[in-house]
């Protein structure tokens, strides 16, 4: 019986079995992907500021941006080491919360907001 190699958080080891049936362990840094949706697509300056907040974080890489004008939603896909993605996600949320007023939001599937 072949025992599986162990891994530690944020320093994963990818197990591969050689032709001889032995374990060959390759060190690998953890990679996290984040795919948040933001309730804005029609104001490109707002979307650009949210994307810029993500790319301002070292090691966070913006992989894709998709905006739907009918639904007024933008999806940003970014990845990187766990700490960088966590920081980028927090900063993107902070930026979006400062620039987007859901009381004024319109789109095919309007945001559910309690009006006071």
- Active-site annotation holder among 33, 109, 110, 113: 109
Q: Are 94 and 70 in contact (CB under 8 A)?
A: no
Tokens describing residue 44: 């490109």
Query: So what's the pLDDT on residue 7?
Result: 42
Alpha carbon of residue 49 to chain centroid: 16
Query: So what's the pLDDT on residue 21?
Result: 65
Nearest alpha carbon to residue 96 among 56, 44, 40, 57? 40
Say how far apart CA 111 and CA 2 lie, in whole Å.
53
Is 109 tagged catalytic?
A: yes
What would the mean pLDDT of 83-108 be, rounded to a whole number? Answer: 90
- Report which of residues 15 and 53 the model is more confident about: 53
Going along the chain from its start, the domains and CATH numbers come out as 32-101 (3.30.990.10)
Query: So what's the pLDDT on residue 1?
Result: 39
pLDDT above 70 for 112:
no
pLDDT in tens, 79-92: 999 999 999 999 99
């Amino acid at each position: 019986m072949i025992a599986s190699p162990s891994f530690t958080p944020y320093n994963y080891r990818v197990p591969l079995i050689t032709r001889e049936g032995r374990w060959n362990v390759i060190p690998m840094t953890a990679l996290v992907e984040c795919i948040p949706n933001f309730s804005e697509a029609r104001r490109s300056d707002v979307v650009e500021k949210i994307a810029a907040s993500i790319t301002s974080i070292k090691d966070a890489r913006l992989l894709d941006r998709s905006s739907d004008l009918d639904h007024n939603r933008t999806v940003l896909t970014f990845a990187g080491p766990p700490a960088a993605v966590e920081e980028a996600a927090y900063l993107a949320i902070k930026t979006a919360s400062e620039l987007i007023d859901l009381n004024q939001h319109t789109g095919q599937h309007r945001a559910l907001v309690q009006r006071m």
